[in-house]
Amino acid sequence: METFNSWRTWDEARADLEREPPVPGPARNAIDLPALERAAEAAVRWHGDQTRPTGVPYVEHLLEALEALVRGAGETRTEVLSAVLLHDVVEDTDATVGEVEEAFGPVVAELVDWVTKPPAGSPGRQAKRAAKAAYLRRLRDAPPEAIAVKLADRVSNVQRLDQMPPDFQRRYYAETVTYVIPLAEGHPWFASWYADWRERYAHLR
């Protein structure tokens, strides 16, 4: 199972993308690095000093998702790649969809909006889980570009699932199998990656 954790900072990602365009053939030079850099800088600014549950800077998660989209799925479209870098800014920072649209345009804003989990209507763990399940079900109606962003996001979250607490592993495995893997239909690279991942973590069934 391929993992994506080569880029810890945007400077590392940019240097790699400049040195070795990741997509062969006619699209190999199609990535708009200046535009992508603007998105990376905005994500770093909005997320500030936030960290992942493992304690690493939040930007590392965003770059893992970006790497999965570029090096795995072969995505080169600026709007999709920008959206994956910005996919958590509305959910996890004080940024708004309107601010994303003003800075990056309506397409990026729409993709970010699709993958933004709305807050639970009621307090408590059960309400949060119900709200998340409803959000994941809603993604079935999302455009393919938004689904690709979500699939890349989840690749980052599950590629090292064995480093998480055991109870979380089983719950997150079940959630991914139930709600996320079906979204990969129509996305051949992601479907193949998640098939390998599912086999790697089959003991969690």
Residues with a catalytic annotation lie at: 91-92
Q: Report yes or no on 200 lying in a domain.
A: yes
Q: Which domain holds residue 194?
A: 10-204
Dihedral of CA atoms 195, 200, 203, 204 in degrees, nearest 10, equals -70
* Residue 71 included in any domain: yes
Give the tens place of pLDDT for each residue, 70-109. 999 999 999 999 999 999 999 999 999 999 999 999 999 9
The pLDDT of residue 31 is 87
In a domain, 191, yes or no: yes
At 19 the pLDDT is: 82
What DSSP string runs through 46-81?
HHTT-B-TTSSBHHHHHHHHHHIIIIIT----HHHH
DSSP 156: H
Confidence of residue 54 (pLDDT cuts 50, 70, 90): confident
How much is the mean pLDDT over the chain? 92
8 Å CB contact between 101 and 109 = yes
Question: Does the pLDDT of residue 8 top 90, yes or no?
Answer: yes
The domain tally of the chain equals 1
C-alpha 51, offset from chain centre? 15
| CB burial of residue 87 (10 Å; 0-12, 13-18, 19+) | buried
Q: Give me the mean pLDDT over the 103-127 stretch.
A: 88
- pLDDT of res. 130: 83
Summarize pLDDT for 23-32 with one digit per residue, the tens.
555 445 578 9
Say what the pLDDT of residue 121 is: 64
- 117 falls within a domain: yes
Judge whether 56 lies within some domain.
Answer: yes
**Least confident residue range of 46-55, 122-131, 192-201:** 122-131
Q: Domain for residue 86, yes or no?
A: yes
1 within domain boundaries: no
In this prediction, residue 122 carries a pLDDT of 65
Residue 33 domain-assigned?
yes
* CATH code for the domain in which residue 25 is found: 1.10.3210.10
